[in-house]
């Protein structure tokens, strides 16, 4: 027995555009329109069926007419009204489903603390993919990536589903516009689609790397979206009560914007592989250069061999809230400025990329070196 949707609020929440997008993606064509009243759509087998779609939610009988549209599609498609309603709501979105194989979760419930961790890790996974869509890197620091953060802020959490524990993420995607026949029209995909495509690519790459115990297997996949952030997010999804559980991720693509390339949409990460991802994430993070930063501090040590073109200065400066010794390799002219600063005991400022090697910090590509005037 199939359910009939009679919920007035649920029917009124559907916009005409959502239904139009669904009809377009299912092969229906608009054949007539009465402005501010209704549109007429032809489709179904042999294009003999017609659907009368109300044009405005403000119409008094809007919910009744939408109910009739759903019932008509149920008859034509042989699917339940609940499935059709879900497709209406998500026809212009990519859907990401994360299934966590936790003991005792068959009824769709898990401990609250675990649920919080799963949701945070899911958010971190999406942010890692969005950052990689902008610029693939082995690690993303706390600095805000505006476009990626804006994208993640627009994501919606769908209802959880039964079957272990399933988190649903809804990623809205603009519908694709029709191009006149024979006209070439190439443009970059909208960022939300680029982010979900990168997620697919990165999940495939990280699954391949996880079968190896070699760090290089992960480093070689950075260009495909693998990062310390992604590895740690995936490990966090499956971590619960001191053990790791299987994690499965599935993607389904917007009906109104099918992907232009063949993309893998299902991924399984066995629990026994997640400790490898966790460790890969830790090491990738420790080896990654920090964001471009300005170091200020006192020169505490100088080292240059006779007639050498380069010298090494050690600066005592702040790194992530702590005072650290930072080594800077400089050409002769800049090194001479370090000598002056050391003699005068005046602080210097230098810009570069901070890298940690073991317990030692180094500033690469130093530039904009100057002495800081202390008033």
Nearest Cα residue to 129 out of 160, 95, 152, 158: 152
Cα Rg of the chain (Å, integer): 28
Let me know whether 72 and 41 are in one domain.
Answer: yes
Let me know whether 108 and 71 are in one domain.
Answer: no
Task: Quote the CA–CA distance of 22 and 105 in Å, as a whole number.
Answer: 33
How far is Cα of residue 82 from the mean position of the Cα atoms in its chain? 28
**Residue reference for tokens 């999940």:** 203
Q: Answer yes or no: is 238 within a domain.
A: yes
DSSP conformation letters of 299-366 = EEEEE--TT-SEEEEEEEEEETTEEEEEEEEEEHHHHHHHHHHHHHT--EEEEEEEEEETTEEEEEEE
Q: Answer yes or no: is 180 within a domain.
A: no
- Please report the pLDDT score of residue 51 as a whole number: 93
| Cβ atoms of 226 and 250 closer than 8 Å | no
Instruction: Give the end of a domain, one of 37, 60, 90.
Output: 90
- Please report the pLDDT score of residue 171 as a whole number: 95
| Cβ atoms of 364 and 350 closer than 8 Å | no
Q: Answer yes or no: is 3 within a domain.
A: no
| Cβ atoms of 101 and 118 closer than 8 Å | no
Let me know whether 128 and 224 are in one domain.
Answer: yes
Let me know whether 251 and 165 are in one domain.
Answer: yes
- Coil, helix or strand for 201? helix
Instruction: Give the end of a domain, one of 90, 113, 135.
Output: 90
Let me know whether 260 and 157 are in one domain.
Answer: yes
Instruction: Give the end of a domain, one of 49, 70, 90.
Output: 90
Residue-number span of the structural domain to which 304 is assigned: 292-371
Q: Answer yes or no: is 224 within a domain.
A: yes
- Please report the pLDDT score of residue 164 as a whole number: 63
Let me know whether 251 and 105 are in one domain.
Answer: yes
Report which secondary-structure segment, H or E, holds 82: helix 81-90
Q: Tens digit of pLDDT per residue, the chain (375 long)?
A: 577 888 899 899 888 988 988 888 788 899 999 988 999 999 876 678 899 999 999 999 999 999 999 999 998 888 888 878 888 888 889 999 999 876 655 666 778 888 899 999 999 999 999 999 999 999 987 666 788 999 999 999 876 665 567 888 999 998 887 766 655 555 789 999 999 999 999 999 999 999 988 999 999 999 999 999 999 999 999 987 678 889 999 998 988 888 888 899 999 999 999 999 999 999 998 887 766 788 899 999 999 998 888 999 999 988 767 888 999 999 988 999 999 999 999 999 999 888 877 778 888 889 999 998 766
Let me know whether 166 and 276 are in one domain.
Answer: yes
Question: How many domains does the chain contain in total?
Answer: 3
Q: What is the pTM of this model?
A: 0.72
Let me know whether 315 and 263 are in one domain.
Answer: no
- Please report the pLDDT score of residue 148 as a whole number: 92
Let me know whether 40 and 109 are in one domain.
Answer: no
**Residue reference for tokens 């476009």:** 147
Instruction: State the pairing for strand pair 165-172/161-162.
Output: antiparallel
Let me know whether 123 and 252 are in one domain.
Answer: yes
334 phi and psi, to 5 degrees? -70, -35
Let me know whether 24 and 142 are in one domain.
Answer: no
What CATH number has the domain bearing residue 315? 2.40.50
Let me know whether 166 and 257 are in one domain.
Answer: yes
């Amino acid at each position: 027995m199939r359910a009939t949707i009679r919920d007035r609020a649920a029917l009124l929440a559907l916009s005409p555009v959502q239904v139009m997008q669904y009809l377009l993606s299912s092969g229906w064509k608009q054949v007539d329109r009465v402005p501010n009243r209704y549109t007429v759509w032809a489709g179904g087998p042999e294009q003999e069926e017609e659907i009368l779609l109300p044009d405005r939610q403000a119409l008094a009988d809007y919910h009744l007419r939408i109910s009739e549209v759903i019932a008509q599609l149920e008859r034509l498609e042989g699917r339940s009204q609940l499935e059709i309603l879900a497709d209406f709501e998500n026809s212009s979105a990519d859907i990401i489903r994360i299934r966590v194989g936790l003991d005792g979760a068959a009824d769709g419930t898990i401990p609250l603390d675990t649920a919080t961790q799963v949701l945070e890790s899911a958010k971190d996974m999406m942010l890692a993919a969005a950052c990689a869509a902008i610029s693939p890197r082995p690690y993303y620091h706390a600095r805000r990536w505006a476009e990626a953060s804006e994208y993640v802020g627009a994501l919606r959490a769908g209802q959880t589903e039964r079957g272990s524990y399933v988190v649903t993420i809804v990623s809205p995607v603009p519908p694709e516009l029709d191009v006149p026949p024979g006209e070439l029209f190439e443009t970059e995909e909208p960022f939300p689609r680029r982010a979900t495509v990168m997620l697919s690519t990165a999940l495939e790459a990280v699954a391949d790397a996880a079968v190896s115990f070699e760090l290089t297997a992960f480093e070689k996949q950075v260009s495909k979206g693998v990062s310390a952030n992604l590895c740690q997010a995936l490990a966090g999804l499956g971590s619960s009560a001191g053990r790791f559980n299987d994690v499965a991720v599935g993607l389904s693509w917007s009906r109104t914007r099918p992907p232009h390339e063949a993309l893998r949409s299902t991924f399984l990460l066995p629990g026994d592989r997640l400790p490898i991802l966790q460790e890969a994430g830790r090491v990738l993070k420790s080896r990654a250069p920090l964001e471009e930063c300005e170091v200020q501090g006192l020169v505490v040590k100088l080292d240059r061999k006779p007639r050498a073109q380069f010298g090494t200065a050690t600066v005592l400066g702040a790194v992530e809230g702590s005072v650290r010794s930072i080594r800077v390799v400089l050409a002769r002219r800049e090194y001479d400025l370090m000598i002056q600063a050391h003699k005068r005991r005046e602080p210097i400022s230098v810009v570069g990329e901070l890298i940690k090697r073991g317990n030692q910090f180094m500033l690469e590509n130093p530039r904009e070196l100057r002495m800081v005037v202390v008033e």
